[in-house]
Amino acid sequence: SWIGGGAGSLALGNEFHGISAMKDRGLFFRTQSSYNFNEGFLKYGMDAREGSVLLCADSEGTAVWTQLELPAPSPWLTSGTSDIYFSAGKVGIGTINTYGYELAVLGKILADEVMIKHPVDWGDYVFKPDYNLMPLYELSLFIKKNQHLPNVPSEKEVMENGYGLAEMNEILLKKVEELTLYILEQQKALETQQAELNVIKDQLKKK
């Protein structure tokens, strides 16, 4: 083993493999062979040999997870050489507090699609005959008093507690379907008024 380094630097190991910390490149891990996984620069396991999970760099400089001869210990489960699964525990990215969730990320997430597998509920019950749709005048009074729609979290609640995607999607769908019922009611009222006007016009023509 070897310990050394110049001004503003620290090196452990030797010129072929080890750890070095320098002011111009941060913390640097190096191995003698890019494909010698037994010399990976980050190991997880009981004894860092058999059954360990290693993080190594391939010839392109890409980080690659692999494992040694025996299956990786819990909570790690691996599939092939690229997929890693956790059989237990929670994952925090950018945070050590997961707030009881299996995955917590402090920051933005980029994804092509997010699938909600089991929604809490769905809003189609609004169209059932026994659904109690709030009259428009009551809705107007509620909005003036509370500054938000009924059964929708207020701005204060959302800012303090956030909101669940599945729950909010169900709430928004419910409001769209309620709005549809209001429109249909207005259309029915307009048709009734138009029919009454037509009767009055016919009576005036006969005079």
| The pLDDT of residue 28 | 53
Report how far residue 129's alpha carbon sits from residue 55's, in angstroms, rounded to the nearest whole number: 60
Question: Would residue 51 count as lying in a domain?
Answer: yes
Question: Would residue 16 count as lying in a domain?
Answer: no
Q: Same domain for 101 and 127?
A: no
Structure tokens at 67: 């494992």
Domain with 201 in it: 123-206
Question: Would residue 25 count as lying in a domain?
Answer: no
Amino acid at 112: D
Q: Is the dihedral of CA 115, 120, 126, 130 positive or negative?
A: positive
Percentage of residues in the chain with pLDDT exceeding 90?
A: 38
Question: Would residue 19 count as lying in a domain?
Answer: no
Question: Would residue 9 count as lying in a domain?
Answer: no
Among 77, 105, 133, the domain-final residue is 105
Rounded mean pLDDT of 26-31?
53
Say if residues 196 and 189 touch (Cβ distance below 8 Å): no
| The pLDDT of residue 132 | 94
Q: SS3 for 3?
A: strand
Q: SS3 for 78?
A: strand
Say if residues 52 and 78 touch (Cβ distance below 8 Å): no
Report how far residue 13's alpha carbon sits from residue 19's, in angstroms, rounded to the nearest whole number: 7
Say if residues 58 and 66 touch (Cβ distance below 8 Å): no
Q: How do residues 187-203 score in pLDDT, each as one tens digit?
A: 999 999 999 999 999 88
User: What are the start-end ranges of the H helices in 126-207?
Assistant: 136-146, 155-161, 165-206
Report how far residue 178's alpha carbon sits from residue 171's, in angstroms, rounded to the nearest whole number: 11
Say if residues 164 and 138 touch (Cβ distance below 8 Å): no
CA distances in angstroms from 198 to 45, 90, 108, 188, listed in the order given: 85, 69, 59, 15
Q: Same domain for 156 and 92?
A: no
Report how far residue 155's alpha carbon sits from residue 170's, in angstroms, rounded to the nearest whole number: 18
Question: Would residue 4 count as lying in a domain?
Answer: no
Rounded to two decimals, what is the model's pTM? 0.54
Q: Same domain for 81 and 155?
A: no
Q: How do residues 70-117 score in pLDDT, each as one tens digit?
A: 444 455 555 556 677 777 788 888 888 888 888 899 999 999 998 888
Amino acid at 51: G
Number of domains in the chain: 2
